[in-house]
Structure formats: C-alpha cells, structure tokens
Amino acid sequence: MTLEGKLLIGQQAISGNQTEIRAIDPATGETLTPAYLGGGKPEVERACALAEEAFASYRESSLDERAAFLETIASEIEAIGDELITRGMAETGLPRARLEGERGRTCGQLRLFASVVRAGEWLDVRLDPALPERQPLPRVDLRQRHIALGPVAVFGASNFPLAFSVAGGDTASSLAAGCPVVVKGHSAHPGTSELVGRAIQRAVAKCGLPEGVFSLLFGSGNDIGQALVADPRIQAVGFTGSRKGGQALMATAQARPQPIPVYAEMSSINPVFLLPEALKHRVDDIAESFVASLTMGAGQFCTNPGLLIGIQGPELEAFIDAAGTAVNESAAQTMLTPGIHAAYEDGIGALASHPKVRQIARGQAGDGPHQCQAALFATRGADFRADDALQAEVFGASALVVECADFDEMQRIADHLEGQLTMTLQMDSGDLDTARTLLPTLERKAGRVLANGWPTGVEVCHAMVHGGPYPATSDSHTTSVGSAAIQRFLRPVCYQNLPAGLLPEALKDGNPLGVSRLVDGKREK
C-alpha cells in the first residue's frame, strides 16, 4: 500500500494543514516519507461529531456483531502482511521478531475481546425481581446492566507501535465496550499507524458499521491531544506514556464543565526484592535472568525492572558482580526515537554524577546513532530513602540496586516507594516468612505482585492487572491490559419497572443472551 500521509476521519482520508510530522528511522537517523501534516480543531471537531453520531447505534450493536468487528480488525491487520513489519522496524528500530510477536499479541488481544464481548460477563447483569407481597412495602422489579460511556480518545504509545497504539489494548477494549474511538496516533510511528488505521477503516466498512466508529488523527505538540480531551463528546481517555503527559491530560479532563475519567498508565520502576535465601541458592540464575529482562527491547517497557532491593552482604555483592558482568557484556540496541535516547542519556548522566550513587556497569557501545547502552548503578538504603529523585523512572535499560543494612531497612524502603505497576519477590522456600511480611506492603503499592519471575512480558488474560496506585496510573481501580480493561469504558444503569417491550436484550426474562446473572445477589446456576 502507498502511504498517503493522511488523517483518517471516518471513511475518509484527508490532509491536515498544521505542522508536519515525519518519522525518523532511529537506526540511521534518516527521515522517512511521507510527511504527515498535522490536524487541528476542525479535524478534532469532525472526528468527534462522527463518533457521537456512530455511538447511538454502535453501543447497541449485538454481541455477535461487535465481536465479529473486532475479529475483522485482526484479520485486516494480518492481511497487511510484511509491509506492517518493515514499516514498523523502520519507524521504531525494533527488530523483526519483536514486531512479529507484537502483531500476534495485538491480533490475539482483539480476538480475546471478541470472546469477552460474546461471553457477556462485562454486562454485570443483576436482577432483583418484584416482591409485591413484601411488608411493609412491596419491592418493584429492578434490573441492572452496564452500558458504554460514549466516544473514547485513545493516545498511541511510543513503545508498543502495535499492541498499545492505533489498534492496541485501549482501542480494543473501548470498541468491545461499545464506544467509538478517536485515536491520536503517536508521532514517532505515523506510517505504522496509517497502515493499522486503514485496516480498521476497512473492517468498519466490511461490517457495515457507521463510519464514526473509528478515526485517526495526527498532530505534533500537545494542542490536538488537549483539544480532543476537551471535546464535550469525548467521555473517557486511554493513555500510555510519561507521567507529565498523563498529568496534563488529567488536568484537562478535570477542568472540563463535565469532568471525564482519564485512564493513564504513566510510570513505574517495578521494584524487585532479592530475598536472602534466593540469593544464597540461585545468585547466578537471578542475575542472568534479571539482565535478560532489563535489556529486552532496550528496556523500553513500562514493566522494566528498574530497582532491585537486597540486604548487604556477600550474596548481594555476588549478585551485583554477576549482574554487572552481564550488563558490561550486553550489546547496544537502537532506541525508539532520538528523543527517548536523549532522555535516557540524561537519566543515566544524573545517576552517574549523583554523589550517593556508584556506577556498577555499562553495556557495550554501539555503532548506530541512538543506541541504548544498558547501565547498572548501586546506592545505600539510607541514601535512597533520602532522595526521592532516585525513584524517578529512567526509560530504558537502567537499574539501580539498593543495598539495605538489614531487613528492617528493606521493609522501610518498601513502605517508602511510590505506587507501581508491579512488585516482584525473588524468593526461595526459606524466604517464605520474609515474603509474607513484605506482601501486604507490596499489595498496597502495586497492581501486580510476582514471585520468581520478571515483570516484563505482560500476559493478556482475564486475571491480569496492568495498573496500580498513583503515580503508576491515574486510577488504581482499573487495568489497561487484559479483559477487565473493558470495565473502564462502561457504567451501570438500573431499570425500574420497565415494560418487557422496553427492556434491553440482556435484561429480558428468559436470559436470551445466556449471560451470567446475579439474581437477588446470588449467582444464577
């Protein structure tokens, strides 16, 4: 397909007239064609008007129609073929295997949401039948279901050009909930975005849905994103990116005449607790698997393990030695964008020059222009607690080891940490009591708690929580990965005493949709 450098608004492809966006191949520094002229207020206005128009029928599309639409999007993405992979590689510097895997994940995610839509758990149907004889007052018939919120604004993330971008998790879960989506594509991968956006456009047409179900906007700077979040028709926002970016969207959403929810996944350093027995028995294994997780994808994951907390002594020294050796030997990898690489170098520089931090290791230098050399640092527990700047995320393959004087200090550090996406225990059976002592703190601070694994590699399933307390996300009640992500875009409505002819399908007598229901508070068999 010839990329046209256009915004996709409903079924149209139109040219913007604002500042030009051009992707850069980070492996070469070369500017790629075509140029994408950014959109402005008129394009936001048109996309939101179409989305609002589409919402009326799309939100009540049948479960099968909506599921088939999600499956058609997946097929259309697969049908793009290798062009999607090669364009993605050029725009992100990510290797072929990673992008092929990510495409599989993206399409799998769309199909998972198709199955979620059909299963209907998300409707959370509750029935409290009438009790006309109840004393002192009768009870009327009350039924509850969940309905879609309205059009959703989705911001593509830089680090998952497929799985958290135009047809990524936020889009899939919004569409599954019955919400039209207006995507603001990430400026780092506009070509990949256009390819995927056109696949969704084709799926909309093939499924006979109203065109406003999906639009894709581009624009440099923050103006178009802020205009989108401020548009009165937008009812929720999905975002994955920096803390600063997420906070700016939260402020805009709160300042609207009608505030709306922002689901921002912002930052996390994913602390890992290295418990004594585990280090005693498996130090080399732990060091090796840690560095593999740290350096995977140049560390450009929300769940990259950026903080390790251990108790000082020969075992922790051995871990630092082994991990340091592995980091020293690690090859340089191209980062997603020149900007991300520059920010990474700034972060590394700040740690390297911090008076209380010592550099343990630095990966191999590369020969490309924007390559990440992994880095490992160490500091003392008391110094870590004394400077909150040491909790800042350095996006990329950088980690800090915190050496605690004893377990009490490890516990105090756990108490001192900000909210996180994940917290991990490296533990052996002899560490069980220690782990049990830490677990309540870990639960309170993180959306996911792991034992003996590494937080990268987020499974897309029903039990997943890719979320966590602020500032990891803007709303700890939610997840942005996994089937529960659909709940972000739904709200409950109660129907009291409605005649049968008015009741939504999900609430009708006889359960025509065959969904799980809570009747008088009990799960129906």
Catalytic residue of the set 179, 302, 372, 404: 302
Residue whose C-alpha is closest to residue 504's, from 97, 60, 101, 186: 60
DSSP 73-137: HHHHHHHHTHHHHHHHHHHH---HHHHHHHHHHHHHHHHHHHHHHHH-GGG-EEEE--BTT-SSS
Q: Which residues pair with 181 in a beta bridge?
A: 152, 214
- Which residue lies nearer to a second copy by CB, 4 or 121? 121
Binding mask 255-294 for a second copy (x = CB under 8 A): ---xx-x---------------------------------
- Which residue lies nearer to a second copy by CB, 394 or 481? 481
20-21/36-37 β-pairing = antiparallel
Can you give the length of the chain in residues?
Answer: 525
Residue numbers 82-111 binding a second copy by CB under 8 A = 101
Contact with a second copy (CB under 8 A) among 84, 85, 149, 152: 149
51 and 179 Cβ atoms separated by less than 8 Å: no
CA–CA dist 380, 391 (Å, integer): 13
Residue showing tokens 């030695």: 321
Rounded least distance, CB 19 to a second copy, Å: 31
What percent of the chain is helix, strand and coil (3-state, nearest 5)?
45, 20, 35
Taking contact as CB under 8 A, which single stretch among the options 20-28, 153-161, 250-258, 333-341 is the one that binds a second copy? 250-258
Catalytic residue of the set 53, 194, 265, 393: 265
Q: Does 477 bind a second copy (CB under 8 A)?
A: yes
Residues that contact a second copy, how many (by CB under 8 A): 81
Q: Does 514 bind a second copy (CB under 8 A)?
A: no
Q: Does 518 bind a second copy (CB under 8 A)?
A: yes
**Region for 273 from its dihedrals, namely left if φ exceeds 0, alpha if ψ lies in -120 to 50, beta otherwise:** beta
- Which residue lies nearer to a second copy by CB, 33 or 258? 258
3-state secondary structure of 407: helix
- Which residue lies nearer to a second copy by CB, 200 or 236? 236
Rounded least distance, CB 420 to a second copy, Å: 12
CA–CA dist 112, 355 (Å, integer): 49
3-state secondary structure of 428: coil
Rounded least distance, CB 20 to a second copy, Å: 36
- Which residue lies nearer to a second copy by CB, 131 or 205? 131
494 among known catalytic residues:
no
Residue numbers 409-468 binding a second copy by CB under 8 A = 419, 427, 429, 432, 435-436, 439-440, 443-444, 446-453, 457, 459, 461-465, 467
Q: Does 132 bind a second copy (CB under 8 A)?
A: no
Q: Does 313 bind a second copy (CB under 8 A)?
A: no
Rounded least distance, CB 214 to a second copy, Å: 20
Residue numbers 178-207 binding a second copy by CB under 8 A = none
Contact with a second copy (CB under 8 A) among 29, 35, 254, 292: 254
Residue showing tokens 């050029």: 90
Rounded least distance, CB 158 to a second copy, Å: 24
Rounded to a whole number, what is the distance in angstroms from the first to the last CA of the chain? 51
Residue whose C-alpha is closest to residue 197's, from 159, 171, 225: 171
Count of C-beta atoms within a 10 Å radius of residue 338 = 14
265 among known catalytic residues:
yes
Contact with a second copy (CB under 8 A) among 74, 127, 177, 196: 127
Q: Does 121 bind a second copy (CB under 8 A)?
A: yes
3-state secondary structure of 347: helix
List phi, psi (to 5°) of 117: -60, -50
Taking contact as CB under 8 A, which single stretch among the options 71-79, 145-153, 197-205, 293-301 is the one that binds a second copy? 145-153
Contact with a second copy (CB under 8 A) among 215, 471, 480, 486: 471
Q: Does 140 bind a second copy (CB under 8 A)?
A: yes
Residue numbers 25-84 binding a second copy by CB under 8 A = 56, 60
410 and 273 Cβ atoms separated by less than 8 Å: yes
Point out the residues that are catalytic. Answer: 265, 302
